[in-house]
Structure formats: structure tokens, C-alpha cells
Chain A
Amino acid sequence: MSLPVLEARGITKRFAGVTALDGVDFNARAGEVHALMGENGAGKSTLIKVLTGAYARDEGTVRVGGEPIAPRCTGDAEAAGIATVYQEVNLIPDLSVAENIGLGRQPLRWGCIHWRAVRDRARRALARLGLTLDVDQPLSTCSIAVQQLVAVARALDVSARVLILDEPTSSLDEREVGELFAVIRRLRADGMAIVLVTHFLDQVYAISDRITVLRNGRLVGEFAAADLPRLELVSHMLGRPCDELPAAGRAAASLPPPGAPLLAVRDFGRKNVLRPLDLHVHAGEVLGLAGLLGSGRTELARLLFGIDRPDCGEMKVAGHLTKIRSPGASLRLRFGFTPEDRKTQALLPNLSVRENLIVALQVRRGLWRRVPRAEQDQLTARFIQALGIKASGPEQAIKHLSGGNQQKVLLARWLATEPRLLILDEPTRGIDVGAQADLERLLAELRAQGLALIFISSEISELVRNSQRIIVLRDHAKVAELAGGEVEESTVMRAIADEGGAPPPHG
């Protein structure tokens, strides 16, 4: 084992009384890929931000090559040899590839930028990753994956010794992930210390030498990847012993209720977004949508709710041919949708819990029929109680609530409209375990009350636990529909991974 290039000891970070990191140790060694794992809220991103200087730590030491550092901004961290690439490509799309690599450190000649040197340097930096690109093209003309690699090239263009990759694969497809990993392996062989933050288990095992697990801001442990079975890793992340893992507790696979489905689509799709597919969901049924990020799950949900418009296929609601043209039309059909990105697509941050809760109902009643204040108060009180929403009161601004409570308010927003169908896109993302359990319980209750639910989640165990049927998407197409006894983690996984053995799609 080589000596750590990056050595962090006892890192503690508090935000307004909340301890986000509590005495965490972390090492990165030359020639190793070190995965940093943990559920949402475990403290991964806080730790990364402390290392890169975006946050100032409250306690602890960070050493690079034995030298203590205290970065105050990303520039300081870079100067110390820590380079970072973020999930969102943080480059300038309007400028050329060469310029994006050279920006801020352009070689000068006679006080002017020496453009040829900038281009040469960019070509060399890309060549180090095994890439040849036209460095004069605007970055925006490159695919996201290539942009990501350009970001890596930029990060390494300074004499970096540690490369931090913060969820670099979230927006990449499989082939692109392969490209990125090839680059990572190459850098590892060159002796770079690489820190990888991701939540895709397959990817972790595909490339990591070492795994550090965080939970609730504390260090669970540092393990050699080869010695840590998957199940054990998951149990470390969840903080539950293996035998309590949910495999046993999945929803009873009941038969679909009789009668016409509440929602049925046929040959339903949109060019370049979703290949035409069939789908139906009954009242009193949870239909799970499985698939990796970017497989078309969210796109399907948006088409179903009318945010984007399908360009082929037909839709029947309770047996009647219907056209959904907008979220407003969906609302009138008594559909509801909680989007994946709560912060930008659902919350009205400065408005109160009450206003956030009643807004969908108000839209359904229309501009002129204002929901009377007494009714608003009563509804709010009812849902705060029923869903166990923790807020200082109905008039508290929703931005001050925790993620889980925000999500409950957003669910209540739709429940207040007494919907027939709810589409939930990753409703449990970024909320604590307690709230997750609450949401799952609620899901079961709603189903029992006769709601139709379409449930999207990256957590396969969660899907299996809660769905009667599961549709698996891959590469913007439906690849499998699982029902009854087939609703099992292993079958879903196989369908997602295309390992064969998955049953052919139902008609």
C-alpha cells in the first residue's frame, strides 16, 4: 500500500447547529481509485466541498503530500494539487474546447494570449487521456460525455496529484461511462490518486480499489473493494444488518383489479425521447418504472403528465380516448405528478406550507374560484397531521423544511386535489430513512384507497417492495414488463442489465 497523497483527519463541519461531518478521516493514495460511498445526506458532498475549498472546515487537518493545506477557494485547492470534476459540467459552453482547458492559465506572449500554445496545450492535455478532438469547436457542440472528459483534461492540466470525480457518470450512458473509465484507468496507471463519488454499485466495483463509506456524517469504515461483498457494502450504507434487508418484505403481488385500466397508452412515444411503448395502470395498483438514470423513465413520466407532448400513440383514460396537452389538462383529469428535481421543478421556496399545499387544488378550481381561507387552513392542518409533516406551522416557508417534509407537502399538494392517478418520480431521493418509511406506508394506503400510482425509483429494492407490476426501461425503450412472481430484484436487475433471462415484453 502506497502512502496517502491526500490525508484528511478528523474533518468536522457544522451548518447552523447541524453537524454535517463529524470527525471523518479520508485518504487517497497514488495509483488507486477510491470510491466514496453513502446514501444521500451521508456527508459525501460536504466532504468533497471541504477538500476542494468550497466550504471551510470547522475542525480537522488536510494534508497533500504531507503538507497541511487550508484551501479557501477552488483555486487554492487546485494550487495544492487537488483537481475536481463535478456532476454538472462546470465549463463554458460558448467557448472552444481549447479555451475551456486553458482558461485562467493561458500562456502569454508579448502580453497577449498565445493562442497556438493554448491549443497545443489543450491537445496535449486531451492526448494524456487518449483523446483527439478538434480543439477549436465550441464546447457546446460536444456530447456531455466529451464535455466531462474535457473537464477532466482541464482539471489535470495543472500539476494535479489528486483527482476528485463528483458523480461524474450521472448523465452519461453506458458506452460513455466506459470511455470515462478507460480514462480513469489510464490516469491510475500514471500514479494519480483518484476519488470517485457515485451511487452506482456496478461502477464502484468495476473500477474502485478502495471504498470509504459514510453514514449520517460519520465514517463507517474504509475497505478494500475486493474484500467487501456488495450486500455488506449496502448494509454499511443503510446502517442495517444484511438479514434485515428488504428482500423479504415486498408487496403482496395481487392480481390487477378487474375492469378497464384507469390509464392505458398504446404506441406512445416521442421521437428521440422515448420509443413507442404500451403501458396501462389500474386503480388500486402501483406500477413501478425501473431503469437507470437516462433510460427514459422521467421522459415517460413527463409525456404521461403532458409536460412534453407525445408525437405518436393514443391514450385512454378510464376507457375514453383522451389527448393530454398540458399539465393543466392532466390536472383536470385528476392526475398528479411529483417531479424528480424537487428544488427547481416543484417547490415554491418562499411561499408557505399552506400555499405550497393548496396550489394544485387552486389551479384545478380555476382563477376565479379562490379556495376559501378557512378551507385552505383546514386542508393544511389535515395533511400536516395525516402525513406527519414537521413544520413550525402552516405559514412557515417551505424552504425551511427538511427534504422529507418538503416531499410530504408536495405529495399533499396532489392529494388535496383528490387524484385518480399519481406519478411519483424518485419521491424518496434525498430524504431521510424515517421519511422514506413514512412515504412507503403512505403509498400502500393510497393504493388501498383505490389510487393508481406510477412509481419511479432508482432503488430497485424499493420498487420491488412497493409495486405490483414493474416496467423496465433501457435506452429510451420498454424492455420488460414484470408481474406477479416475476417482480423480484434479480429479475429487474437482469432486465436492466440486459443479461438475458428477462421475459419478453408483454403485449
Chain B
Amino acid sequence: MKARLPQQQIPVAASLAVLLLLYGGGCALFPHFGSLRVLINLFGDNAFLGIAAVGTTFVILSGGIDLSVGSVVAFTGILVARLVAQGVAPPAALAIALLLGALFGGLMGLLIQAFDLPPFLVTLGGMFLARGLGFMVHAESIAITHPFYDGFIAQTLAIRVSSRLSIPFTAVCLVAVVAGATALARWTPFGRNVYALGSNEASARLMGLPVARTKVGVYALAGFLSALGGCVATFYMQSGNPASFVGLELDAIAAAVIGGTILRGGVGFIPGTLVGVLILGLIQTLITFQGDLNTWWTRIIIGALLFLFILLQEMISRFARRS
């Protein structure tokens, strides 16, 4: 009995298996797939998605959903770009963006909490609002040219592996955020309250847990992480565009679910979301390597994976209820 995998960890194990399978398959099929560069790029290219997906994971863990992710990431990008273009020091611009992101998420959480509104509708409103606000900041894409970006972020903060290869700062951000979020979820009362809230809100309330504070906090955290994802995206793209990242929220949700977070809330594992993000990234990479497969296959495969993992979760929970 000891050797049996705890039920809650089956999805995470399954996603790890998928990750290894995809990676192994890629290495077997394509000569350069196994190179360090591909691996590093996998982290670097998907950093903004990963960071946003960590926020989404917290929201899903708490029993909610956040559809505003893509818009907030885009809003942050254009805001930072515009501020930098107007002469604000980049660190200040980034700080303002992060603050606004947290505030935005917190406001949505407040509405959800105070009036018991369905999260998907409130964050849908948030999605429209952030998208429109982004276009109000500036209707066109703005490139960011500043020594802070070209030199400090792109050069100084990158970790040099060899003369031709370095780990970009975005990848470092991703790993740091995942580590920090894992600790937050596992070792702080806030993190545990999020799990309790998502597992059974009525019980959490009767147990005297700060339900209201936790709920608002979760959305504020998600807003902050979306904004951070947006900041990291500016490092990666060196520009901001109000029209970008449409539908990113779906990728973030898919990453969380594929990473083992149960959409009903209460069960999940932050590093699992990283696995989910890497799976999505690997699919993209594989399709790029393949060359003659069209990119829309990505959407279909993500949908299929989403379906399989949701099915797996349902089967596990039904099995658990029966036994």
C-alpha cells in the first residue's frame, strides 16, 4: 500500500511522463533537439506564460478562474513601453506596472468576494477592461530602446554558459517565480488558506479562516503575476503591443490543468504548472522542428491534452468518491 501513488499526485506524475515522452520523442526524431540551447530557449521563450500561469494556478486552487491574464500581460507591456518612451526610468516603469497589476487583480477579487459574483464573469469584464485600457495607453506597438533593456537585462543579467550560449534573464525570472510561488503555497498560512478555500469554502469559513482576505489576495497575486509576466515579456520582445497575447489566459489555464491542478480547486502543485508550461512549449518547439506541420495543430493538441487531463482528474475523483 505504501508504494501506491497518492491519488492527488497521479496527474502530476502523468504530466511529468508526458513531458519526458515529448522530450525523448523530440530528441529521437530531430538531431539538434537535445541540445542545451533548445532547453534554455524552452525556459526563456515561455517565461512570461509560465509566470502568468503560476498566478492562474493560485486562482484555480482557490476555486476561481481568471480570464484577464492575456489582457493584463498586454496592458503591462504597452504601459511599460510607453512610460520608458516618455523618459521614465525602466525600473520605475516596471514597478508602476506591477503595482497596477496587483491593484487590478485585487479589485476584481473584491468584486467577486463582496458581491459573490461568478469569477469567470468578473474576470471577463477585467479582460475587456484591461484590453481597452491598453489601447488607451497607446494604440500601436512601441519598441523599447533603453540601455537598461539592451545592456543590463539582455547582457548583464544573463547567465553566460559558454561563449555562444547564455541563459536569458527571463528564464531566471521563471525559475525564481516558480520557486517563490511553491514556497508561498506550501509554507505560508496564506498558501494553505488558498487550498482550504478552494477545497471547501463553507468549511473554510466555519473554521474561522480569513476567507475574504484570502480570496481578494489570490486575485491580487494573480494580477501581480500577470503584470510580472507582462514585464518579462517586454524583456523578451523588447517592445509592448496592446493587441498582443490574445488568448494567453487559455494557455495559462491549460498549463495549470495539464500540470495537475484540479479545476474545481483545492488540489494542485505549483511546480506542476511549470511542467505544464514546458509541455506546451515543447509542443510548439516540436511543431517548429517538424517544419511542415501547421501551427494550428498546437491549438488542437493543447485542446486534446486539456481534455485528457480533465478526464483523468474526473476519473480519479470519481474513483476516490466510490472507494
Instruction: Give A contacts to B, CB under 8 Å.
Output: 73-75, 78, 86, 90-95, 99, 103-104, 106, 108, 111-113, 115, 138, 140, 154
Q: Binary interface profile of B, 191-217, with partner A (CB < 8 Å = 1, else 0)?
A: 011011001101111111110000000
Establish whether residues A103 and B207, one from each chain, have CB atoms under 8 Å apart when the complex forms: yes
**B148-202 residues at the A interface, CB under 8 angstroms:** 183, 186-189, 192-193, 195-196, 199-200, 202
Q: Which B residue sits closest to A76, measured CB to CB? A: B208
Smallest CB gap from B323: residue in A: A141
Task: Let me know if B189 and A92 touch, CB within 8 A.
Answer: no
Chain B residues 89 to 115 lying within 8 A of chain A, measured CB to CB, are: none
Query: In whole angstroms, what is the CA distance A104 to B203 when docked?
Result: 12
Chain A CB within 8 A of B64 CB:
no
Could you tell me if B208 and A78 are in contact, using CB atoms closer than 8 angstroms? Answer: yes
- Asked if B285 CB lies within 8 Å of chain A CBs, one says no
| B316 at interface, CB cutoff 8 A | no
Asked whether B189 lies within 8 Å of A106 as measured between CB atoms, the reply is: yes
Cβ contact of B189, chosen from A90, A91, A104, cutoff 8 A? A104
Task: Kindly list chain B residues whose C-beta atoms are within 8 Å of the C-beta of A103.
Answer: 192-193, 196, 207, 209
Q: Residue of A at shortest CB range from B208? A: A75
Given contacts A74-B208, A86-B206, contact A112 B183 (CB under 8 A): yes
B200 touches A104 (CB 8 A): no
In the bound complex, what is the Cα–Cα distance between A94 and B200 (angstroms)? 9
Interface centre among A78, A91, A106 (most CB of B within 10 A): A91
User: With A103-B207, A103-B209, A138-B8 given, is the CB distance from A92 to B199 under 8 Å?
Assistant: yes
Could you say which residues of chain A place their CB within 8 Å of the CB of B189?
Answer: 104, 106, 108, 113
Chain A contacts for B5, CB-based, 8 A: none
In angstroms, Cα B192 to Cα A108, docked, is: 13
Say yes or no: A93 contacts B192, CB within 8 Å. no
Given A103-B192, A106-B192, A138-B8, does the pair A90, B207 have CB atoms closer than 8 Å?
Answer: yes
Q: Is B3 in the interface zone, CB < 8 Å from A?
A: no
B320 within 8 A of A: yes
A43 to chain B, nearest CB (A): 20
Contacts A74-B208, A103-B193, A104-B209 hold; do A92 and B188 have CB atoms under 8 A apart? no
* Chain B: CB-nearest residue to A89: B203
- Write the nearest CB–CB distance from B110 to chain A, whole angstroms: 19
A151 to chain B, nearest CB (A): 9
- In the complex, B134 has a CB within 8 A of chain A: no
- Can you add 11 more A-B contacts, CB < 8 Å, to A73-B208, A74-B205, A103-B193? A74-B206, A74-B207, A90-B207, A91-B203, A92-B207, A103-B192, A103-B196, A103-B207, A112-B183, A113-B187, A154-B207
**Contact across chains for A94 and B208 when beta carbons are under 8 A apart:** no
CA distance A256 to B188 in the complex (A): 68
Alpha-carbon separation in the docked complex, A90 to B207 (Å)? 7
**In chain B between 9 and 36, which residues have their CB closer than 8 angstroms to a CB of chain A?**
none
Q: Counting CB contacts under 8 A, is B267 at the interface?
A: yes
Instruction: Tell me if B223 counts as interface (CB < 8 A to partner A).
Output: no
Say how far B217's CB is from chain A's closest CB, in angstroms.
Answer: 15
Chain B residues with Cβ under 8 A from A92's Cβ?
195-196, 199-200, 203-204, 207, 266
Report the bound CA distance from A113 to B189 in whole Å: 7
Cα A91 to Cα B195 with chains together (Å) = 12
Whether A113 lies near B206 (C-beta < 8 A) is: no
Supply 14 A–B pairs (Cβ within 8 Å), ascending by A.
Answer: A73-B208, A75-B208, A86-B206, A90-B200, A90-B207, A91-B207, A92-B203, A92-B204, A95-B192, A103-B192, A104-B209, A113-B186, A113-B192, A154-B207
Q: Which residue of B lies closest to A158 (CB)?
A: B208
Which residues of chain A have C-beta atoms less than 8 A from B209's C-beta?
Answer: 103-104
User: Considering the chains assembled together, what is the distance between the CA atoms of A95 and B189 in angstroms?
Assistant: 13
Shortest beta-carbon distance from A115 to chain B in Å: 8
Q: Which residue of B lies closest to A113 (CB)?
A: B187
Residues of A within 8 A of B204 (CB): 92
What is the CA–CA distance of A175 and B209 in the complex, to the nearest angstrom?
Answer: 32
C-alpha spacing A93/B266, complex, angstroms? 9
| Alpha-carbon distance between A78 and B266 when the two chains are bound, in angstroms | 25
Closest to A112 in B: B187
CA distance A393 to B252 in the complex (A): 51
Judge whether B193 and A93 touch: CB under 8 Å: no
User: Which 6 A/B pairs are nearest by Cβ-Cβ distance?
Assistant: A75-B208, A112-B187, A90-B203, A94-B199, A90-B206, A92-B199
Contacts of B205 in A (CB 8 A): 74
* Interface hub of B193, B200, B266 (most chain A Cβ within 10 A): B200
Determine the residue in chain A with the shortest Cβ distance to B321. Answer: A140
In whole angstroms, what is the CA distance A108 to B199 when docked? 23
**Residue of chain B at shortest CB distance from A77:** B208
Complex: chain B residue closest to A139, CB-CB: B199
Assembled-state Cα–Cα distance A94/B204 (Å): 12
Which A residue sits closest to B196, measured CB to CB? A92
Residue of A nearest to B186 (CB): A113
A99 interface neighbour in B192, B266, B320, Cβ under 8 Å: B192
Report the separation of the CA atoms of residues A113 and B188 in the bound assembly, to the nearest whole angstrom.
6
Chain B residues closer than 8 Å to A112, beta-carbon distance: 183, 187-188
In angstroms, Cα B195 to Cα A90, docked, is 15
The verdict on A93 contacting B199 (CB below 8 Å), with A73-B208, A113-B187, A138-B8 known, is yes
B181, chain A: closest CB distance, angstroms: 14
- When the two chains form their complex, are residues A104 and B183 in contact, meaning their CB atoms are under 8 A apart? no
Q: Are A90 and B199 in contact (CB under 8 A)?
A: no
Question: In the docked arrangement, what's the CA distance between A332 and B174, Å?
Answer: 61
- Chain A's nearest CB lies how many Å from the CB of B187? 4
- Nearest-Cβ distance from residue B322 to partner chain A, whole angstroms: 10
B266 touches A104 (CB 8 A): no
Which residues of B are found within 8 Å of A138, using beta-carbon distances? 6, 8
**Shortest beta-carbon distance, B268 to chain A, in Å?**
10
CA distance A350 to B6 in the complex (A): 42
* Residues of B with C-beta under 8 A to A75: 208
List of A residues within 8 angstroms of B183 by Cβ? 112
* A395 CA / B6 CA spacing, docked (Å): 52
Smallest distance from the beta carbon of B205 to chain A beta carbons, Å?
A: 8
| Contact, CB under 8 Å: B202 / A90 | yes
Which residue on chain A has the smallest CB distance to residue B7? A138
Q: How far is the CB of A292 from chain B (nearest CB, A)?
A: 24
Q: How far is the CA of A91 from the CA of B193 in the complex (A)?
A: 12
Residues of B contacting A94 in the complex (Cβ-Cβ under 8 angstroms): 8, 195, 199, 266-267
B320 in contact with A140 (CB, 8 Å):
yes
What are the residues of chain A within 8 A of B267 when measuring CB–CB?
Answer: 94
- Check B193 against A95 for contact (C-beta < 8 Å): no
Residues of the B chain whose Cβ atoms lie less than 8 Å from the Cβ of A115 = 187
Return A111 CB to nearest CB of chain B, in Å. Answer: 8
What are the residues of chain B within 8 A of A108 when measuring CB–CB?
189
| Chain A nearest CB, measured from B107 CB (Å) | 25
> Within residues 196 to 249 of chain B, which ones have a CB less than 8 A from any CB in chain A?
196, 199-200, 202-210
Contacts of B206 on A, CB cut-off 8 Å?
74, 86, 90
* Complex CA distance for A99 and B203, rounded to whole angstroms: 14
Q: Which of B187, B207, B320 lies in contact with A104, CB distance below 8 A? A: B207
Residue of B at shortest CB range from A86? B206
Residue-wise, chain B 55-86 has the 8 Å CB interface mask toward A (1 for contact) of: 00000000000000000000000000000000
